[in-house]
Amino acid sequence: MRPSISKQGTADNSNKGLTGHTCTLHQRLNHALNLGTRINHDKVKKWQCVDIEIQRHVLHSIAAFLDSVSGDTRHHPHVKASVVDIVGALVWMLQSDNGSMLRMAADVTVKLVSIFPKSVLQLYVLELVNPLSSLLSSHQTEVAILSATALNLILSNLSTKSEKDVWEILRKTESVSQVVSNLRFFPGCTKTLKYFQQMALLLSTILWWWPSSRFSVWSDTKLMNGLNEMLKLDIDEKVAVLKLYSSLALCGIGAKKVLESGEILEQMVQCMDNSHPHSIRIEGFKLAQCLVINEEICLLMMSLGYKPIIKAIISGMSEWNSHSRKVSNDQMSLLEEACRLALITRWEGEHHIYMWKQGIDKILLDLLLENFHNQPYKCSMSLDEQMVIAKEGLNANYLLVLRSYIWDILGWLAIHCGEDFNPEREIYINILITCACLTFWHKIYENDIAGAFRRESATRAVSMMIYSPCKYIASKTRFILSEILGLDGGEYLKTLLGFLNNLSSGNYFGVPDKLQIIVYLMGLACYSALPQYQVSEDWEGKDILLFYSLWGLAEWIQHWGCLGNNLDQTSGEMRPIEAQLVSELQDICNNSRTPGVQWYAAYVLSYFGYYGFPSKLGKKIGKALTEKDYADIQLILANGECLRVHGVVLATQCPSLLPSEVLFPSEVTCDESSVTCSMEICKKFCKDIRLSVHVDHQALVMLLEYIYLGYLQAGQELVKKLRTLAKRCNLQSLLQMLYRKRPKWGSAHPSLDLSAALRLSGCRFSDVILEAKTTELLGWTCGICFRSVPHMHVHKVILSSSCDYLRALLQSGMQESHSQTIKSSISWEAMVKLVNCFYCGKLPKPPSGCLWNNMDTEEKLHELQPYVELCWLSEFWLMEDIQTACFDVIISTLSSAKELSIKILQIAANFSLWKLAEVAATYAAPLYRQLCDSGELDALDEMLVEMIRAASVHLSQQGGGQALAQWKVNSFVTKRPGVCRANSLFAKQGYSCVR
């Protein structure tokens, strides 16, 4: 017979885990909540009560219950179930007109959101955000403070699923404007510092979540000045100011605004000083980190004074050494933030030298090896002694959280070292190298995949040190790694190459992690640099797999000699597999946006006799090299041979070939008549330039090919002659490739760019004016002449090379070909974009980020209009690539601003761009019913309305966005091989990897 279970026993069992006191408070809470619970006409239970005494009683009950909840009890079923009723009551009371009740409700709300975790509160975020954001404007200081505190706690733990809906509430309640208004009058405001602190913390969280809101903050001069003044005060609220600045600095323009005042930079450095509490110092470091994320901003900040920043970093990384070796949580946080900031070593600059002078090598060792600074080490040690010290220190697992930072800092310091750099204390750098090499070898050799993931930064540091420009660091790293690998190196190399071969051939089982592939590729690059694995003498980004594949391939080709300069062979032809590899490498140079990838692709191409960076623009401009119609310069060699070239190309790409009187004529054209006269002269002008007897004809032809196309093809004998000529012409990038010097880490690749010819200096070579459609352009003036119609002084050779239509027009023999003005039927804004595309090969993009997000519809439309015009013109002028680029810009914009679709549809129809009109109609389709109800479709032609309706029906039948996605694939989206190409580069050589 089974024992019966009493009701009391069931209740006791359901309350298991709660103390008796908490159970009692929970019962009292339920009784109190029931006093205000009502059932509405939809039979939904809702808390509604206007009785002040009942409200006060409920708030006391909620507060008492929450005080009893802690730890694991927060997840108890009874406790979690009570949250929905608590929130319902608080939301009602947060809308009360009673001041004292509002304060109590806001106080209890802060307690609620402080106690319960994100997983519990996510269901009630929207209910709480609405009343809390409305209370930010409360005249009761305490209510506003509590509301800001609660709201900040909610947003700090916000789920991405709720992000869009929460922002819509904040936008409707104008929360950002209200908080900015609350802060604008500090300092000097009668409100308390706590009020400022909570408002600033809330605003910083909002700016962190929603980048578009940053515009209204950094563009508010009064607020920015006030924040600057608050930062000068000796108050703990500096933390809030620093957090706010950090959120602003996440935006590139915001970061520039922060740096516009040198005082802010000075105050930030002071906040990192050890005279301040850890909390302020940590936020100072975080702000500095935000400012150095972008290289351009980092260099700007360094130009304002890098020494105080470096001193602050060194202080943050080393100050604790004078205390106990036990590191507190605050000290560890400070150490980590200082190390993060020390990663400015990623960017090139004078701060590298200063860091070495400040003893960065010893500081890194102190963070890596626990007792290093207390040991009386000799100034010189054998490698065995160094390895003993390194192994003991690494095995102690001291400050493991800092290891990846240490390796990264060391690697960047090494890659940016000067060729003749010598450390003051060799023992420090030697032990650091030994530690890095041991870490690189230990886990990877044991095939510990998890360890490989953790040691990725150490592997990268070793590879950077091996290929460091510094002779000392590079040679020392090669020697130490060779000794560590010893006899086991060959076996590991076979394992490494086996993995890569299996991966490229598709024989690898499972899906390898991207980081694992990177580690193996870097490992191959490191091995390729070691003497015992050589048989002959001697930037990362989204394409990081391709980058390390190219790096490894470059070293493999150089040291194994498996590929040579095939252009000097008798046949003069490459094998098909090599020709295919060359074709792919040239395609990478053309299409990759990552400088490191382009540099290494060009570096590998140099082993096939190709030097430079092939590009689409170079292919176009290169056509002019064999066409002499617009040549205005004649290069005369000592033997009388002549080469006719174009002054505008030489002036922008290789000015050393032109004498100063051609580059800088004394006569300056100042009026319309003289401009006309100048063009007549330019049309007939042919300047003879006599070259030195040492200039070889064939070398000069090849050099001109590089100047026009951006790359050349030559055998080894010709390369020797080209080196002398390139050196005299100061073409450093070509020299680097002719000598096959390894790419310098972080350097931008040289690109063909003729845009300098559009400036005043290019007027000398201008032979035609391109005139825009007549518009009322207020304040428009020309810096060269006095013509009132918007126009640009351009060059026939560039126009002819860039556009087949213009080539035909200029060579037609008709009236237009003899005119000194070409009239276009597009606006000035569109014409500027078109001409820039002709001269630099890139279509200028519309504003993005917070600038775009804070434009109204008309401003956005004004920015897009030129791209629609260019789409239309491209059809007539046969510029398919420009039309595709314009389509991409318009489509990407419509994806984030669907409200423009109706306007773009109308404009596209006016230009008879029906393909674009179809796309705009597709974007408008989900809004069809809403547009009908609002009357926005009334102004459209009936045919356009029908296009939107048809698109709406089609989308509803096939699923949202499917038609548009298919259209993109069919028309404009080209799939890039990417990772597949990276994985197959080694296989395409057609060679056995192990000899």
- Write the secondary structure of 866-934 as one string of H (helix), E (strand) and C (coil): HHHHHHHHHHHHCCHHHHHHHHHHHHHHHHHCHHHHHHHHHHHHHCCCHHHHHHHHHHHHHHHHHHHHH
Domain end (from 145, 173, 201): 173
pLDDT tens digits for range 836-879 = 999 998 899 998 877 888 888 899 999 999 999 999 999 989 99
303 in a structural domain: yes
977 in a structural domain: no
Statement to judge: residues 27 and 158 lie in one domain: yes
pLDDT tens digits for range 391-409 = 888 888 888 889 999 999 9
Statement to judge: residues 657 and 772 lie in one domain: no
565 in a structural domain: no
- Between residues 813 and 337, the one the model is more confident about: 337
Mean residue pLDDT across the chain:
82
CATH number, domain of 290, equals 1.25.10.10
Model pLDDT, residue 977: 36
545 in a structural domain: no
Whether residue 982 is predicted with pLDDT greater than 70 in this model: the reply is no
Model pLDDT, residue 414: 94
Q: Which residues, in sequence order, are CB contacts of 610 under 8 Å at separation 6+? A: 582, 586, 602, 711, 712, 713
Number of domains in the chain: 6
Domain end (from 499, 534, 569): 534
- H or E, element range at 823: strand 821-823
**Amino acid identity, position 702:** M
Model pLDDT, residue 454: 59
Statement to judge: residues 868 and 806 lie in one domain: no
Statement to judge: residues 145 and 216 lie in one domain: no
Cα-based distances in Å from 549 to 521, 585, 766, 797, 981: 6, 12, 45, 39, 9
562 in a structural domain: no
Model pLDDT, residue 688: 87
Whether residue 750 is predicted with pLDDT greater than 90 in this model: the reply is no
| Residue 699, domain extent | 608-662+684-749
CATH number, domain of 656, equals 3.30.710.10
Domain end (from 728, 749, 770): 749
Segment 675-689 mean pLDDT:
55
Q: How confident is the model at residue 472 (pLDDT cuts 50, 70, 90)?
A: very high
Statement to judge: residues 456 and 470 lie in one domain: yes
Whether residue 171 is predicted with pLDDT greater than 80 in this model: the reply is yes
Statement to judge: residues 803 and 851 lie in one domain: no
Model pLDDT, residue 283: 96
pLDDT tens digits for range 890-900 = 988 888 787 88
Statement to judge: residues 30 and 148 lie in one domain: yes
Q: Which residues, in sequence order, are CB contacts of 708 under 8 Å at separation 6+? A: 618, 621, 622, 624, 625, 649, 653
Model pLDDT, residue 373: 67
Spatial CA neighbour of 722 closest among 707, 734, 740: 734
Whether residue 427 is predicted with pLDDT greater than 50 in this model: the reply is yes
Phi, psi of 687 (to 5 degrees): -85, 125
412 in a structural domain: yes
Whether residue 748 is predicted with pLDDT greater than 90 in this model: the reply is no
Residue whose tokens read 């290789």: 654
- Between residues 940 and 312, the one the model is more confident about: 312
CA–CA separation, 558 vs 538, rounded Å? Answer: 8
CA–CA separation, 373 vs 555, rounded Å? Answer: 38
Statement to judge: residues 743 and 784 lie in one domain: no
Segment 18-35 mean pLDDT:
89
457 in a structural domain: yes
Segment 38-44 mean pLDDT:
73
Statement to judge: residues 809 and 881 lie in one domain: no
Statement to judge: residues 728 and 762 lie in one domain: no
**Amino acid identity, position 550:** L
pLDDT tens digits for range 572-614 = 566 777 788 888 888 888 777 678 888 888 888 888 889 998 8
Statement to judge: residues 370 and 251 lie in one domain: no
573 in a structural domain: no
The DSSP 8-state label assigned to residue 769 in this structure reads E
Spatial CA neighbour of 873 closest among 922, 815, 829: 829
Model pLDDT, residue 139: 92
Task: Looking at 529-644, list the stretches that DSSP marks H as alpha helix, in order from N- to C-terminal side.
Answer: 544-560, 576-591, 595-605, 616-621
pLDDT tens digits for range 321-354 = 544 557 788 889 999 999 999 999 998 889 999 9
Q: Choose the weakest-confidence range: 307-321, 694-708, 810-824.
A: 810-824
Whether residue 661 is predicted with pLDDT greater than 80 in this model: the reply is no
Statement to judge: residues 100 and 164 lie in one domain: yes
Residue 41, SS3 per DSSP: coil
